[in-house]
Amino acid sequence: MSTGHVKAEPKSASAAGPVDVHVGNRIRLRRTLMGLSQEKLGEALGLTFQQIQKYERGANRVGASRLYDLARVLDVPIGFFFDDMQDAAPKTAPAPIQPSVTTGFAETQATFGGPPRKVVQPPRLFDLPADEAALFSRRETVDLVRSYYRIPDPSVRKRMLDLIRSLGPAEE
């Protein structure tokens, strides 16, 4: 006899989480900056556009080999997908243990009993306040970046960048 209550399934270790949503957002950002549709990206990877949608929403996790393929097709280093991750990482995630400089047995054992070592975060690619980070999802920004990369001569691109910088306020 049913009581009408549905027991919630526990979230499996393989279920997608905030990191997957962040990686998916970075996939979408790069895909749109390159002017690729979900279908075109899927074709390049041998996937359906629905699978690309699931990755971009963070509904499905991206495995290591698929992330490698995405980095190759989207022409970015793998680290690109994890840039600006501090905001997306769960607050309770354990810090990775740094290996000891010495590798003797006694030194290795000592790393198991002490507190985790402080992890030094690498510099962020885009160190922007949250409101500025939203600029990357605006159509105008995407159009500007696409147009910039359509300039075939790198020296002309550099001069355009210098011009744009000169039109804005001086950097701090």
**6 versus 97: which is more confidently predicted?**
97
Given 89, 122, 141, the domain boundary residue is: 89
The first and second tokens of residue 155, run together, are: 């020296």
Amino acid letter, residue 170: A
SS3 141: helix
Q: What is the 3-state secondary structure (H, E, C) of 5-52?
A: CCCCCCCCCCCCCHHHHHHHHHHHHHHHHCCCCHHHHHHHHCCCHHHH
As for how many domains the chain has, the answer is 2
Given 37, 56, 89, the domain boundary residue is: 89
Averaged pLDDT for residues 90-114? 55
Range of the domain at 152: 131-172
pLDDT band at 49 (very low <50, low <70, confident <90, very high): very high
19: in domain: yes
110: in domain: no
117: in domain: no
Given 39, 61, 89, the domain boundary residue is: 89
CATH number at residue 69: 1.10.260.40
Is the whole-model pTM more than 0.85? no
